Amino acid sequence: MSSTRVILIRHGESQVAVDKIIGGFRTCNGLSDLGRRQATALGERLAYENEQVPDSLCPTVFIASHFARAQETAQLIAHGIGNPALITDPEFGEHDPGPLCDGMPYSDFLEKFGHRNWETDPYDETYPGGETVAAFQLRVGSALRRVVDAHPGETIVISCHAGVIDTCLRYALRAAPTGEFEVHTVNTSVTEIAHVRPGRWRLVRYNDTGHLLGIQ
């Protein structure tokens, strides 16, 4: 059986990032103007690549998290991958800050709670009332396993988030849940991992941003 391709696409720049707001799924209001330009450029690139090499990236499964920024990104790239039906899967959502912190300006968060320890204890409640890193990684890792098991040998495209991509890489590379390495996943970058066989993954590419040349 051929390997299962998993293409992870980080959403374009979000408006909450521009506004410096903690943007969980409750308060996310989609992409910024730059984010739309980034996603549009990726859609055009994918369409060109599929034209040059027919069906080079036409997924059998197209997923987006329930965050507005991931949904909007998926809509803007869909034409480039053959307009497949979009499945919304909340399990691929970003780390949930919880209702207390969702929508809070970062400056207010720092003033109220100070700098939190994200690096050493995955069971620490870094966002008071929110999801721990451990719970987040269990959710995302379980979702990845579920989708890959359900679609062996197929191509899966997921419009998601930097934290989700980090977790998927740690899962595939059998890396520590926190620390050890740091990745900086760029908006609308393309990361691809392949599930070769049970227990064996291959990192095909990370942070592919060729389409962002000249985008400001």
Helix (H), strand (E) at residue 6: strand 4-10
For residue range 22-50, what is the model confidence (pLDDT) as tens digits?
A: 999 999 999 999 999 999 999 999 999 99
Query: Residue 126 to residues 20, 61, 116: CA-CA distances in angstroms?
Result: 18, 33, 6
> Is residue 215 one of the residues assigned to a domain?
no
Based on the structure, what is the number of domains in the chain?
1
What tokens does 3 get? 């390997």
**Sheet with 200-208, side-by-side order of all strands:** 86-88, 61-64, 155-160, 4-10, 190-197, 200-208
Distance CA 6, CA 193 (A): 5
Distance CA 93, CA 13 (A): 16
The predicted structure's pLDDT at residue 1: 64
**Domain, as residue range, for 104:** 4-210
Calculate what percentage of the chain has a pLDDT beyond 90: 83
For residue range 3-29, what is the model confidence (pLDDT) as tens digits?
A: 999 999 999 999 999 999 999 999 999
Buried b (16+ CB within 10 A) or exposed e, 11-47: bbbbbbbeeebbbbbebbbbbbebbbbbbbbbbebbb
Predicted confidence (pLDDT) at residue 154 exceeds the cutoff of 80: yes
For residue range 200-216, what is the model confidence (pLDDT) as tens digits?
A: 999 999 999 999 998 87
CB 104 within 8 A of CB 27: no
CATH no. for residue 113? 3.40.50.1240
C-alpha 144 chain-centroid distance: 12
> Is residue 78 one of the residues assigned to a domain?
yes
The dihedrals phi and psi of 65, each to the nearest 5 degrees, come to: -70, 175
pTM for this structure? Answer: 0.96
* Tokens 């993954």, residue located: 201
The predicted structure's pLDDT at residue 117: 76
Closest by alpha carbon to 21, among 114, 101, 118, 119?
A: 101
Distance CA 140, CA 9 (A): 15
